[in-house]
Structures are given as structure tokens and as C-alpha cells.
Structure 1
Amino acid sequence: MKEFKRINRQIVYKGAILDFCKDDIITPKGHHVKWDFLQHKGAAAVIPVLDDGRIIMVRQWRNAIDRFALEIPAGGRDGENEPTNMCAARELEEETGYKSSRVEFLQTLVPAIAYSGEKIDVYVAFDLEKSHQKFDEDEDISLEIHTIDELMEKIIANEINDAKTVSSLLTYYCKYVKGDCEK
């Protein structure tokens, strides 16, 4: 397969969490094209699993969809050098008020592969210990606790449609609950 070659990336707008860029690309056929690109420092997400197997979810306001959404805890890295497992642990405590002594890597997601470089590393947290929530100034989060079966039903009913949450819960279900999805 022939390669595309980026010859220039210009930051058009620098935002708080995203930079909007214009890329100049040369296609394998020699065409010069311009593509939009959203630059993102990366993020981490975590599925907090209680000792009885139920999962702690967060419900928070999302401006992009103008409503509250039910999601797994997640957040952006404090910088490009922050390890994502540290980011996941921080977000777990900030959003749920729990710490974990056992965090396992689940998957890496690229939620908008056509136009964004954002990557989200997803973890599963076990052996939870109560701590304290530490919300960011723009967060208003409530907690909900559900079984994985209830969450699967919410996905099917389109009550959960956040891509990172859907993908992560389905992967968790296959790997930890069903245990035979690797076949």
C-alpha cells in the first residue's frame, strides 16, 4: 500500500483541550489535498468494578449533546507525558471518590479516527477503596451503580451511546464476564 505524506500541519486554533489544525497532504497518486485535524493530548478511562461485580458509572452534563450522559469515568491527561494509568487512577478518584489497588489495562480506543488523533487508554479497576471525590470546577457528577447486564441493556436501548463507554463495556463483558470472546 502506498503512503500518504503530510507536508505541513498548521494550527488554526489553539483550544483548552483541542487544537484545530489544517494538514497539507500529498496522496499516493500525487494529489495535494487539505485535511482537517483535531490534535488532542490523549485521555484515559476506567471501569470501576465493586467487589460484588457491579460497576460504578458517572452521569454528567455534556455540552456537545446538550444533556446528561451515563459514562465510565474518564478524562484528559495532565500533559502528553502523564502515563495513562496514572491519569485513569486520578480520574477514578476525582469522579467517583474511590481508589484502586488493582488496575488492569483493557484497550486503546481512537474515538474519531477520521479527523482526530485522540487516543483513550481504558483500564479496569478492582479492589476499590472509598476515598473522596475531587471534581474539576466545571464538573457536576452523580454516581450510579449498575450490573453489567443492566449496562448491556442500556446500550441496546440506546440509553448509553458514548463511544468510549459502549466499546469499553462490551470489551469488559467479553473479557471478564463471558470470558470467551478471544476465541
Structure 2
Amino acid sequence: MSRLEEKTVKSQTIYEGNIIRVQLDQVILPDGGTSQREIVKHPGAVAVVAITDEKKLVLVRQFRKPLEKTILEIPAGKLEPGEDPRACAFRELEEETGYQAEEMTPLVSFYTSPGFADEIMHLYVANGLRKGEAQPDQDEFVELVELTLPEAWQRIADGEICDAKTVAAVYYWQLKEIQK
């Protein structure tokens, strides 16, 4: 065991839902002490940076119950069991926005909240967009929104764009524009 690792001595599932599982782990700390860790197990997700030919970022407006407010986000969704992240990115973009992409280029994968969850998010850039008809899931209510880069920055300042994946997408877009 490295000097920073914790050793799990007992693990118990304390909740199992449709999206997440929560487990309680008993651990031995690096100094020999013991503690408990509450861990959210998640199947992973994808998110898509899609910029139209008119130089607008494709977003969805959606109510988020944990926040008790409606926010703007890039299209995203949970991986199904055994699903390839790239295939999921194509699917989520079309379901939520109606846009189809010719190609999905991987940008980065990151852990969303490693202090308590194992969720990994795969961020893709959609290329060759074609407008189509959105087909959100039955329990998913979203509105398509397209913003220019200055409008996106303003929505960040206003707090309407406030989740990490979407803020990262706007930074990526800004960097891409600077490098042109």
C-alpha cells in the first residue's frame, strides 16, 4: 500500500437506484486509523461540444432538480451498460437537440466529483452538423438554445451556465477561436 492509499476492509451497498448506487466503505487510512467513505457509483456519461456553421454553441435548457433551477448545458447523457462513449455522444446529441454529426472527436475525459463519486465524463467535439428533429427521453424536457461565444460568456456571468462541463466547453471554444 502506498503512503497515500486507503485499504477497503468492508463495502456495503446502502442504496441502488436507476442511475446511481451508493456504497459505504470502511477503510484503513495510511496512518493506520479507520474511517468511512460514502461513494456514489455511476456508469459514466458523455457531453458534446457542438458549434454550428453560424458559430453558435448548441445547448439545452433544462430544469435540474438538485439545483432547483433551470440551467443551460451542452448536450449530455448517461452511458448505457456496455455502450461505447462515442456512440453515446452521437445518440445524446441527436436525442436532445435534433442535430446529427458526421464525426465525434474525443476531447478529454474527466472525473466529475472524485471526492465522492466515480463518474467519468467523456467530452466530445461534434463536427459536420446537420439539423434534425429532437427526440428527448420520455421523462426529459429540454429546449434547444444556440448562443454565440459572447452570449455564452454572458450566460456564465449571469449564472445560467453554471455546470463544469458547459463552462469547460465555452473555455475550449474560446481557446479554439484564439488559436485560429
Corresponding residue of 1:150: 151
Structure 1 range deviating more: 114-123 or 3-12: 3-12
Give the deviation of 1:173 after TM superposition. Answer: 2.3
**Structure 2 gap ranges (5+):** none
Partner Cα distance (1:70, 1:179) in 2: 26
**Structure 1 gap ranges (5+):** none
What is the letter of the counterpart of residue 56 of structure 2?
R
Listed as ranges, the matches of 1:56-75 within 5 Å are 56-75=58-77
Aligned residue among 31, 34, 53 for 1:32: 34
Q: Contact conserved, 2:59 with 2:72, CA < 8 A, in 1?
A: yes
Percent of pairs with identical residues: 33
How many residue pairs align between the two structures? 178
Task: Give the TM-score of the pair, scaled to structure 1.
Answer: 0.91
Q: Contact conserved, 2:70 with 2:160, CA < 8 A, in 1?
A: no
Root-mean-square deviation (CA), in Å? 1.5
Partner Cα distance (1:39, 1:48) in 2: 28
Q: Contact conserved, 2:61 with 2:73, CA < 8 A, in 1?
A: yes
Partner Cα distance (2:150, 2:103) in 1: 23
Give the deviation of 1:43 after TM superposition. Answer: 0.3
Give the deviation of 1:110 after TM superposition. Answer: 1.6
What is the letter of the counterpart of residue 104 of structure 1?
T
Partner Cα distance (2:158, 2:179) in 1: 24
Corresponding residue of 1:169: 170
Displaced runs of 4 or more, over 3 A: none
**Residue 104 of structure 2: SS of its match in structure 1?**
strand
What is the letter of the counterpart of residue 160 of structure 2?
E
Task: Give the TM-score of the pair, scaled to structure 2.
Answer: 0.92
Q: Contact conserved, 1:43 with 1:121, CA < 8 A, in 2?
A: yes
**Residue 61 of structure 1: SS of its match in structure 2?**
strand
Partner Cα distance (2:94, 2:165) in 1: 19
Partner Cα distance (1:48, 1:59) in 2: 15
